[in-house]
Amino acid sequence: MKKIKYLLLAVFLILGIMNCGKKTENPEKEQVASGQTQGDTQKFLSDKEIEEIIKISDENPDKINSYISIINGLNEAVLGAYSGAYKKDFTDGSDGFKVPQGEAIDNFLKIYEQYEDKYKELDVILDEAEKKTGQKPELKKLDGFAKGFIENMKKERIQMEEMYKYYKSKEYEKDSFSKGKELNDAYFKAIYASGEKYIPFYSSFQEIFAVVENTPKK
């Protein structure tokens, strides 16, 4: 059990879950997950499923390690910086599109370019983990949770890149932000979809970690 314990411990230390009050670098996904787990007693994995996942992963940690890499990759990508810059200058305070003013577009592009390498690293992590979802050993529901999140997170990444290309190419000068409005709607749709799928994926690791942490040492 030591292998999986150390893997999970690394995740939660990085995200600050074990460090009281530490703010994560991926607020969108974390807020969705914490909102679900703090105010809801729903369990995503049964005790038996958790026991099986721990046993299998301790013997062969490759797959669960690839899933853990997703959480680490999200944290490294600092998606909150991108969404924060976009929401601040391109929306009406909720999800409605507004025409950006002043240096908003340049600032938005700079944010993307600042973290572009991390976005690409996340893309690779998602691709690699996606391949493993259908491979043995089977991790029961966790495989399904991972697959659902990966599929939707990849759609969110596509929208992020589409928005960047649109504003970088200054296409908005030709269509008076017509496509910008469409991209805005697609982006928020993708965010909410990936956030919804992140809940069971992330919460499953919290449940597994709780069991591992509370298991008496032999």
- Return the structure tokens found at 3: 């292998």
Q: How confident is the model at residue 18 (pLDDT cuts 50, 70, 90)?
A: very low
155 neighbors 194 (Cβ within 8 angstroms): yes
Q: How confident is the model at residue 60 (pLDDT cuts 50, 70, 90)?
A: confident
- Return the structure tokens found at 90: 């391109």
What distance in Å separates the CA atoms of residue 66 and residue 132, rounded to the nearest whole number? 8
Question: Of 57-61, 140-144, 159-163, 201-205, where does mean pLDDT reach its minimum?
Answer: 57-61
At 111-156, the pLDDT tens digits run 999 999 999 999 999 999 999 999 999 998 999 999 999 999 999 9
Q: What is the pLDDT of residue 119?
A: 98
- Tracing tokens 């230390």 back to the chain, one arrives at 13
- Tracing tokens 């369990």 back to the chain, one arrives at 43
What distance in Å separates the CA atoms of residue 83 and residue 61, rounded to the nearest whole number? 33
Q: Quickly list DSSP for 50-65.
A: HHHHHHHHHH-THHHH
Question: Of 12-21, 78-87, 108-117, where does mean pLDDT reach its minimum?
Answer: 12-21
159 neighbors 187 (Cβ within 8 angstroms): yes
Distances (CA, A) of 147 to 39, 47, 210: 25, 21, 23
Q: What is the pLDDT of residue 20?
A: 33
Q: What is the pLDDT of residue 181?
A: 98
Q: Mean pLDDT for the chain?
A: 86
Kindly report the pTM of this predicted structure.
0.85
DSSP element (H, E) containing 1: none
3-state secondary structure of 97: strand
Question: Domain boundaries in the chain?
Answer: 2-214
Give the list of residues 6+ apart from residue 188 with CB closer than 8 angstroms, or none: 95
B/e letters for 193-210, b = 16+ CB within 10 Å, e = fewer, are bbbebbbbbbbbbbbbbe
Of residues 107 and 2, the one with the higher pLDDT is 107
Give the list of residues 6+ apart from residue 73 with CB closer than 8 angstroms, or none: 118, 121, 122, 125, 126
Q: How confident is the model at residue 37 (pLDDT cuts 50, 70, 90)?
A: very low
What distance in Å separates the CA atoms of residue 145 and residue 177, rounded to the nearest whole number? 36
Q: Is the pLDDT of residue 13 over 70?
A: no
